[in-house]
């Protein structure tokens, strides 16, 4: 069977085309130089500049290699963790668009009646460009002596975070599927639905996924 993953990636529209072209122009590029580098017509560059059209990642590759990191820098989240032995605090700034931000809740019951749902685990997945992803595994921070959960009006502050290495898309799918099976074993509904939620999020952000049967519409 022919592998179409590469061709789909090459045709994927880059949603930040206008911002990328603006970075190049502000850095001294002319529209003609962008045309030559990206091997497109002048009218296409004009459409990119105005935001009327979007280029593909393949077309914009020469600009992405130079300015892509600046676009990603504008999108980041700060995470932290606290060493249980030394109580030292470590901070992690992770760049890239958030693809998935999913919390998993412990249902607290009193005499079989649901009293409240308390988030205990959380997954955040960043796309860092070039088909690479980084996963932030988070667990609810608790006070050392009372075991009570930390509370804060800043939601990101209540999580102890571990930042993974970078993964390719295929690796990401395998790792999160395994996380659902093992780490979320105490949360059967979440364990069963996470593989679907991840693939839905990736598709919504324009990524092609092997194993998804497509039924395209005819326009």
Both 47 and 112 in one domain: the answer is no
Average pLDDT, the chain: 87
* Mean per-residue pLDDT, 183-188: 91
Both 88 and 161 in one domain: the answer is yes
Check whether 111 has a pLDDT greater than 80.
no
133 and 169 in contact (C-beta within 8 Å)?
Answer: yes
Phi and psi at 31, nearest 5°, equal: -60, -35
Partners of residue 83 on adjacent β-strands: none
User: Does any domain span residue 211?
Assistant: no
Domain-terminating residue out of 73, 98, 132: 73
**CATH for 50:** 1.10.260
**pLDDT given at position 205:** 83
102 and 196 in contact (C-beta within 8 Å)?
Answer: no
Both 47 and 90 in one domain: the answer is no
Both 186 and 156 in one domain: the answer is yes
Both 60 and 124 in one domain: the answer is no
More confident residue, 43 or 110: 43
Span of 115-129, 134-148, 163-177 with lowest mean pLDDT: 115-129
> How many CB atoms are closer than 10 A to CB 179?
18
User: Does any domain span residue 218?
Assistant: no
Query: What's the whole-model pTM score?
Result: 0.66
Both 69 and 95 in one domain: the answer is no
Domain-terminating residue out of 73, 88, 103: 73
Domain-terminating residue out of 73, 97, 131: 73
Both 117 and 69 in one domain: the answer is no
Both 82 and 183 in one domain: the answer is yes
Both 103 and 179 in one domain: the answer is yes
d(CA 123, CA 75): 17
Which of the four pLDDT bands, split at 50, 70 and 90, describes residue 108?
Answer: low
**pLDDT given at position 53:** 92
Residue 16, domain extent: 5-73
**pLDDT given at position 219:** 67
Both 94 and 108 in one domain: the answer is yes
Share of the chain above pLDDT 90, in %: 53
Residue 155 in 3-state DSSP? helix
Query: What are 180-186's contacts with CB under 8 Å, separation 24+?
Result: 183/121, 184/104, 184/121
Q: In the chain, helix, strand, coil percent, each to 5?
A: 35, 30, 30
Question: Per the structure, how many domains does the chain have?
Answer: 2
More confident residue, 114 or 66: 66
Both 66 and 105 in one domain: the answer is no
User: Does any domain span residue 217?
Assistant: no
User: Does any domain span residue 22?
Assistant: yes
Check whether 158 has a pLDDT greater than 80.
yes
d(CA 109, CA 30): 64
Q: pLDDT for 68-107, tens place per residue?
A: 877 765 578 999 999 888 889 999 999 888 999 999 988 6
Both 94 and 123 in one domain: the answer is yes
Which of the four pLDDT bands, split at 50, 70 and 90, describes residue 2?
Answer: very low
């Amino acid at each position: 069977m022919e592998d179409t993953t590469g061709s789909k990636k090459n045709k994927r529209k880059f949603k930040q085309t206008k911002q990328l072209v603006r970075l190049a122009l502000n850095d001294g590029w002319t529209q003609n130089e962008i045309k030559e580098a990206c091997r497109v017509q002048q009218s296409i560059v004009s459409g990119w500049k105005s935001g009327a059209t979007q280029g593909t990642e393949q077309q914009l590759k020469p600009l992405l290699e130079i300015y892509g990191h600046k676009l990603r820098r504008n999108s980041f989240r700060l995470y932290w963790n606290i060493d249980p032995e030394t109580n030292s605090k470590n901070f992690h700034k992770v760049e890239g668009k958030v693809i998935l931000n999913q919390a998993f809740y412990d249902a607290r019951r009193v005499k079989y009646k649901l009293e409240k749902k308390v988030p205990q685990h959380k997954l955040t997945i960043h796309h860092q460009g070039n088909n690479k992803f980084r996963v932030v595994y988070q667990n609810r921070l608790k006070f050392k002596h009372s075991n009570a959960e930390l509370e804060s009006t800043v939601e990101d502050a209540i999580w102890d975070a571990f930042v993974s290495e970078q993964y390719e898309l295929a690796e990401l799918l395998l790792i999160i599927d395994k996380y659902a099976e093992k780490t979320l074993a105490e949360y059967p509904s979440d364990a069963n639905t996470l593989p679907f939620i991840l693939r839905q999020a990736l598709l919504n952000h324009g990524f092609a996924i092997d194993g998804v049967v497509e039924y395209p519409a005819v326009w």
